[in-house]
Amino acid sequence: MVRKTKEDAEVTRLRIIDAAREVFLVRGVSRTTIEQIATQANVTRGAVYWHFNNKTELFEAMREQVFLPLIDLIDDAVLNESTDDPLNSIEQYFCGIIQTLEQSITTQQTYEIMMTKCEYVEELAEVLQQILSTCQNIVRKLETIYARAAAKDLINRNHHPAQLALDTHLFFVGLLNMWIKDTECKYIRDNAIAIIRDHVQMKRK
Amino acid sequence: MVRKTKEDAEVTRLRIIDAAREVFLVRGVSRTTIEQIATQANVTRGAVYWHFNNKTELFEAMREQVFLPLIDLIDDAVLNESTDDPLNSIEQYFCGIIQTLEQSITTQQTYEIMMTKCEYVEELAEVLQQILSTCQNIVRKLETIYARAAAKDLINRNHHPAQLALDTHLFFVGLLNMWIKDTECKYIRDNAIAIIRDHVQMKRK
DNA sequence: TTATATACAAACATGATTGTATGTAAACAA
DNA sequence: TTGTTTACATACAATCATGTTTGTATATAA
C-alpha cells in the first residue's frame, strides 16, 4: 500500500467522518458498526481506529463539525442594541438558523442524527443537560430583546418579556423538531421562514 | 419450578414490560439486552422470549400501553362546540396532556424513552411519519377551534386561524420536548401549566 | 542516506448477544 | 386420573462486533 502524506491522512479522516454521518443517518448511531463506516469510507477498520479510538470519539468529531457555530448566532441579535426594531432581530436570528440548515446538508444530517437517530445515555446523557443550559441562555437573551421591544412600545403591554421569550423559544424548539422530522411532506421545511415571520408578527402590538 | 396460572403469566408479562421500560430508560433501547431486561424482571431470557419474539415487539408493547390514549384528547376539545370560550378548550386540551404526564410515571418514562433514548431507523422510521400525520390532524383541529374563537371575536383580526394553530402546535411540541428533557432543573416541569395559560392568553385580543 | 515514525491493511483473540432447542413441573382439560 | 399444554429455566450454537496486535510501505526528519 501507499503511505499517505499528512494532507492525505487528513482527507481520509474527513472521509471517515462523512461516512460515519451517512451511516449513522440510515442505521442509527448504535447499530452502525465500525466496519460499516470503514466500508462507506473505502478504508478498513484499521484506518478508522487509527484516527479515532472508538465510535463515541467519531460521533463527537461529527458533532463538533457543526454544532458550535449555530448556537452563538443569538449574540449578534442581542449585541445589536441600536436597531429600532428589536423584534426584527429576533426574526433574523431564527431565520438565520433555518437558512444555515437549508444550505448545509451536513448540518441538516447531523441535526437529524442527533434528534432522531441517537440515544442520550451514558456519555451522551450530559449533552442533553448542555442543551438545556444553552436553552436557558437563549431564553434570557430573548427576554432582553423583548424588553427592548417593550420599551419601544412595540408589543402588548400586558405581555411580559419573560413570557414572550419563553413562548418564542418553545415555538422555535418545536419548529426545529418538526423541520428536522419533516423529510417527506416538506410543509414545514418549505414554509419555515414564513412561519417564523408570522410568529414574530403575532407578537407585535 | 412452579408453573404459573394464566393470571400469573399475565403478571409476568407486565413485569417484563415494566422492566424493559426501566432498562430502556437508563441504557437506551439499542444497548439494552434481553438479558438485562430479564434480570430486572426477575426472570430468565426464556420468559422474555416466551412472551415476546424479540426486543422490537417488547418495545411496541411498551409503546401501546400509553401512546394511544393521549393523542385523542383533542377530539374532546373540538367536539365541544357549545363552549363560549373556544380558547379555553385549547388550554384544557394541552393542560390535560401535561397532567397525564405528571400523574403517570409510566407515561412519562415512555415518552422520555421515545424522545431521547431510541433511534428512529428501520422498523421505527415509520413511527416518525405517523407522528407527523398525527401532528397535521392536531393542527387542523386547532385551526377549527381558533376559527370559532375568531368568529366570537376573541382574537386579533389580522391573525389567521391557520397561523395561530400552527404557532400553538409548534409551541406545544417545544414545550413537550423541554418538559421531557427538563429532568434536572425542573423549571419547565414546575411551570408547564402556567406557560400554557400564558401562551393562550397571549392569543387573546 | 538512513532511521524512524506514520498511515494504514490484515489477522487475531475475545467477549457479548441472539435465537433456538431442550428440559420440566405444574396447570388444566377430558 | 391422566394426557396435554403452558410457562417458563437452562443449555447450546452461531454470529457478530470490538479492540488489539502485527505487518508493511512510504513519508519525513536528521
Report pLDDT digits (tens) over A97-125.
Answer: 999 999 999 999 999 999 999 999 998 99
pLDDT-above-70 percentage for chain A: 96
Does residue A198 belong to the interface with chain B, where contact is any CB pair within 8 Å?
A: yes
Model pTM above 0.75:
yes
According to the model, what pLDDT value does residue B2 have? 59
Read off the pLDDT of residues A172-195 as tens digits, 9 standing for 90 and up.
999 999 999 999 989 999 999 999
Of B31, B128, B174, the CB nearest to A173: B174
The per-residue pLDDT for range A23-67, each reduced to its tens digit, is 999 999 999 999 999 999 999 999 999 999 999 999 999 999 886
Judge residue B114's burial from the number of C-beta atoms within 10 Å of its C-beta, 0-12 exposed, 13-18 middle, 19 or more buried: buried
- The tens digit of pLDDT for each residue in B141-172 reads 999 999 999 999 999 998 999 999 999 999 99
At B17-28, the pLDDT tens digits run 999 999 999 999
- Rounded CA separation B202/B205 (Å): 8
Footprint of strand D on the protein (CB under 7 A): A 1-6, 33-35, 45-46, 49, 53-55; B 1, 3-4, 6, 8-9, 12-13, 38, 43-47, 49-51
pLDDT value at residue B111: 95
Helix (H), strand (E), coil (C) string for chain A: CCCCCHHHHHHHHHHHHHHHHHHHHHHCCCCCCHHHHHHHCCCCHHHHHHHCCCHHHHHHHHHHHHHHHHHCHHHHHHHCCCCCCHHHHHHHHHHHHHHHHHHCHHHHHHHHHHHHCCCCCHHHHHHHHHHHHHHHHHHHHHHHHHHHHHHCCCECCCCCHHHHHHHHHHHHHHHHHHHHHCCCCCHHHHHHHHHHHHHHHHHEC
How sure is the predictor about A3, in pLDDT bands with cuts at 50, 70 and 90?
low
State whether residue B195 sits within 8 Å of chain A by CB. Answer: yes
Task: Give pLDDT tens digits for A121-158.
Answer: 998 998 899 889 989 999 999 999 999 999 999 999 98
- Higher pLDDT, residue B121 or A3: B121
Cα–Cα distance for residue pair B125/B27, rounded to 1 Å: 20
